[in-house]
Structure 1
Amino acid sequence: MNIAAGTSREGSAPFDHAKLDRLMDEAGIDVLVATSKHNVQYLLGGYKFIFFSAMDAIGHSRYLPVLIYEKGRPEHAAYIGNRMEGGEHHNNPFWTPTVETASWGSVDAATLAAGHLRKIGRQGARIGIEPAFLPSDAHHVLAQALGNERLVDATGTLERLRAIKTPQELDLLRQASELITDAMLAVFSGQRAGASKREIVEALRREETNRGLQFEYCLITIGASHNRAVSPQTWNKGEVLSLDSGGNFHGYIGDLCRMGVMGEPDQELKDLLAEIDAVQQAAFWHCRPGALGGDMIAHAEAVLKASSVAAYTDFFAHGMGLISHEVPFLMTNHPVAYEGVDADRPLEPGMVLSVETTMLHPTRGFIKLEDTVAITEDGHELFGKRGRGWNVGG
C-alpha cells in the first residue's frame, strides 16, 4: 500500500521529494541514509518486509533496511534489503533505481550502503543518519568508509517530512482508530463479572487482530487500582475498567482510551468522566489550522486547573502517525523525554494529535479519555470518536 502517492511505480519517488530536498538543504545534509523501519517504510511508499515486522534479530546480528536518498537526485536513490526481499522486489518493484537485496545483518547492510555512496561519488558529502536506529557496528562501517565527521543527525529532517499526512495516511489513521474503537466496544459488552485482566486483554487482542490490526499493547486498570499491568485481578460489579490500547494498521498507529463499568454508572462516575471530557473539549476547541499548539495546551490546562479534580488529573497532547510520538512535539518532558519544540508553531491541516486527560482518583480508580484528532482545513476531525461515555460491561 502506497502511503504518499496512491500508487507505487518503479523510478518514481512516492513522497514529496521537493519538500525533502528543502528540509535537507536547511539542515545542511547532502545524502540521507535512513535505517529506522518506520522511515524506510515511509520513503518506500508504505512497504514493510513482513518477515521482520515483529522482530529485528537474526543470527548474531539484526535486520537493517537502508534507504539512501541524495538531495535533488532521486535517480541515485537505493534500497538495501535482506536477501529474502528479492522476491518482494520481483513481485512489486521498489521505486529506487538501485536495489540491493544481499544483506543478512547490519554490517552487510552498512557495507553495501558505503559502496553505493562511493559509486555515486558522495564520499565527501554530509551524510544524514538516524543515530537512534543505527547499530554501533553499522555506524563503525560508515564512519570508516566516509569519515566520522561527515555523519550528521537527520532525525529532525525525517520527522518534519512526515509531519503533514496525505489523504491516504489520514485514511489509514482513521481506520486504525475506528477498528480499535470497535474492538474495545466489543470487549466492554462481551465481558462478564469476574473476568480477569489477563482474559480481558486477550479478548481485546483477538478483537483487534480479527479486524485486521496488529495488536501492540493494552494498558488496563480495574477498580480503585492505578496499576495498568496485566494480572489475575478481576472486574466486578460497580468497578470501572479502562482500556488504553495501541493497534497498528498498515504501519499507522491507532491509540485510544475508553472507559467501562460493570453495571450502570452512578452519578459520581458520570460527573468524573464529564470533568475529563470538559478538558478534552477545551483542547479540541483549539485544534484548528493556525492555532498555536501551545495555546491549545494552555487552554486545556486552564480548564483543568479550575476543575474540582485538578489535584489528581493530568493533561497531555502529542503528535502521532507512523509512531506514537512525532511532530508536532507540543510539551517538554511530559511525560516522554523530548522538547516541546512545536508549541510556538501553528497547527497545520494534515497534522494528527493524540489528546489525553488522565485522572488517578483516590477511590474510584484510573479514569481516562484519549482521542485522536486530525487537523483539517476548517477545524478538526475526531477519529474513532464513539464510546466516549461509560460503556456498560456484561
Structure 2
Amino acid sequence: MNIAPGKTEVRSIPFDQTRVDRLMDEAGIDVLFATSKHNTQYLLGGYKFIFFAAMDAIGHSRYLPILLYEKGGPEHAAYIGNKMEGGEHQNHPFWTPTLHAACWGTLDAANLAVEHLKQIGKSAARIGIEPGFLPSDAYMLVRKALPDAKLVDATGMLESMRANKTEAELEQLRIASELITDSMLATIAWAREGTTKTDIIEQLRREETNRGAHFEYCLLTLGSSHNRAASSQAWKKGEVMSIDSGGNYHGYIGDLCRMGVLGEPDAELEDLLAEIEAVQQAAFSKVKAGTLGGDMIAHAESVLKASKVAAYTDFFAHGMGLITHEAPFLMTNHPVAYEGTYAAKPLEKNMVLSVETTMLHPTRGFIKLEDTVAVVEPGRGGLALTALPLTRIANRIAKGNSGQSDLSPRGEEPVSVGAKLFSPRGEGGREAAG
C-alpha cells in the first residue's frame, strides 16, 4: 500500500513535537531517518509490527522499518514498512501522511526512503541516522543515492527524546514491573526441593506469558553458586534463590530481581539482604529532580563502601524504558560499554531508573535486589499505586505455600519525596526513601 505525499492529512502526532524539533536543532539534524524498532515504535506512538516482533530476518534480507520526520514539517513525514503492514494501517491508521507498506528487505525500504527525501526536497539535507541499526547495504545505497546529503549520527538525540517518559509510558513500565514481579513470586511459591534451574526458568516464562508479558530472559542462581545460566542444578533446603528476569509489556521493559529461600531464612541471610537494602535505600533517597546523577551514584557507593559486605558487593544504576539500558546513562562501562554522560547532569521529572545491588557472597551465594524507580515531583500523587498504604520491606516477596520464604530486609519502609518504587500488585504503592 503506497499513499502519496499530500493525499492524507497529518493525524495526531504521538510525541512531543516541540521537544523533538528542539533536540533535532541542537543536534544539527534536518530530517530523522529512524530505523531501530524501539525508535520507530516511539515515533509511531507505540506501534510495532507483530510479524517481526521476535526476529527481523526473512528470505535473503531482513525487516527494516523506516520513519522519516522532517524538523518542523510533520506534513512531510513518512513510514516505510513491510508489505503486510497495509492491513495494520487499515485497522489503525498511522499518523504519517505518507505510508509505503511495500517492502520485504533492506534495499527496497532504503530506496523508498531515498525517493521520499528527494520528493520533499531534502536530498541535500542533514539526515539523522542510527548507525547501529542501519544495515550496511542500506547505508551504502543511501550514501550513493544522496551524495550531497550529510549523514549525522542521531543516536544521542533519539536517546534524549526517550529519556523523559510520558504518563502513559510510566503506566506501561509500572505494569511491566508488576507483571514480572508477580511472576517471580508465583514461581518461587511453585518451586519445590529438587526443582531444577531449567524447570524454574521455564515456569517463570509461563507465568510471565500467562500474565500478558513478553518473556525475554531469566538469570537464576541457587545455593552458593554464582552461575546464572540454566542447568540441571536442583534447589536444596536452606538454599537461596536469586531470580532476575526481564520481560516487556507492549515494548516497555520490566527488569527486576528478587530473592527466595527454601525453608526459613536464618539471621545471617536476613542481615546480608538488609545490607543490600541499605544501599538501595541510599540510592532511592537521592532520586529526585535536580539531583546530579553522579551524586546519587556516589551516595549509594559511599554507603556500600562503609558496609561489611563491600568487598564482594557491587552497586549499579541505569536508565530504563523501551530498552534495558537507555538514558539517563549514569555510570561508565559498568558493566555495559557506554559513557556515563548523564552523571554530571541533573535527574529530570519522569526519568526512569533501574537500581541494583549485587552481592557475590563466598558461601551464601548470589544475593541481589533490583528495583525500578521513577523521578516524580515531591508530594505529587505519582503513579496509581502511590496512593495506597506503604508496606513493609519484608513483603517485597510474599511467602510461598510450600516451605519457601521471602528473604527480605526487616522493618518498615521510609516515605519518599522524590522517587516512586514499582511494587508487586497487591502490596500497595511504595515510595523510596527520601
Report the TM-score when normalising by structure 2: 0.86
Root mean square deviation, CA, Å: 1.7
> SS state of the match for residue 335, structure 2?
coil
SS in 2 for 1:207: helix
Give the Cα–Cα distance (whole angstroms) in 2 for the partners of residues 127 and 10 of structure 1. 21
SS at match of 2:258: strand
Structure 1 stretches of 4+ moved >4 Å = 379-387, 389-394
1:11–1:75 Cα contact (<8 Å) kept? no
Cα distance, 1:11 vs. partner?
2.0
Aligned to 1:249: 249
Match of 2:64, SS state, is coil
Quick check: 1:260–1:390 contact (8 Å CA) kept in 2?
Answer: no
* Partner in structure 2 of residue 129 of structure 1: 129
The match for 1:141 is 141
Residue identity (%): 71
Residues 148 and 272 (structure 1 numbering): CA distance in 2 closer, same or farther, change over 3 Å? farther
1:325 aligned partner, one-letter code: H
| Contact 2:125 2:149 survives alignment (8 Å) | no
Kindly provide the amino acid, as one letter, of the partner of residue 388 in structure 1.
R
Name the structure 2 match of 1:210.
210
Structure 1 stretches lacking a partner, 5+ long: 1-8
* Match of residue 335 from structure 1: 335
Corresponding residue for residue 388 of structure 1: 396
2:268 equivalent to 1:260: no
* 8 Å CA contact retained: 2:10, 2:75: no
Correspondence for 2:120: 120
SS of aligned partner of 1:162 = helix
Q: Following superposition of structure 1 onto structure 2, how do residues 80-91 of structure 1 map, counting pairs within 5 Å?
A: 80-91=80-91
State the distance in 2 between where 1:15 and 1:294 align: 29
- Number of paired residues? 386
Residue in structure 2 matched with residue 351 of structure 1 by the alignment: 351
CA distance in 2, matches of 1:388, 1:154: 40
2:172 is the alignment partner of 1:164: no
Cα offset, 1:147, TM superposition: 2.3
* 1:323 counterpart SS class: coil
Q: Give CA deviations for 1:243-262 in whole Å, capped at 9, x if unaligned.
A: 10001100100000000000
The superposition leaves residues 182-241 of structure 1 with CA deviations (integer Å, 9 ceiling, x where unpaired) of 111101111111000010001100000000000000000000000000000011100010
> How far apart, CA to CA, are the structure 1 residues paired with 2:147 and 2:233?
56
In structure 2, the residue corresponding to 1:331 is in which secondary structure?
coil
* Aligned residue in 2 for 1:25: 25
Quick one: distance in 2 between partners of 1:389 and 1:320?
22
- Judge which range, 371-380 or 289-298, deviates more: 371-380
Q: 1:56 deviation in Å? A: 0.4
2:196 maps to which residue?
Answer: 196
Which letter maps to 1:270? Answer: E
Q: Partners of 2:53 and 2:108 in 1: how far apart?
A: 20
Amino acid aligned to 1:102? A
Q: 1:9-24 counterparts in 2 under 5 A?
A: 11-24=11-24
SS at structure 2 position matched to 1:327: coil
State how far apart, in whole Å, the 2-side matches of 1:299 and 1:266 are. Answer: 29
- 1:54 and 2:62 equivalent? no
Query: How is 1:33-52 mapped onto 2 (pairs within 5 angstroms)?
Result: 33-52=33-52
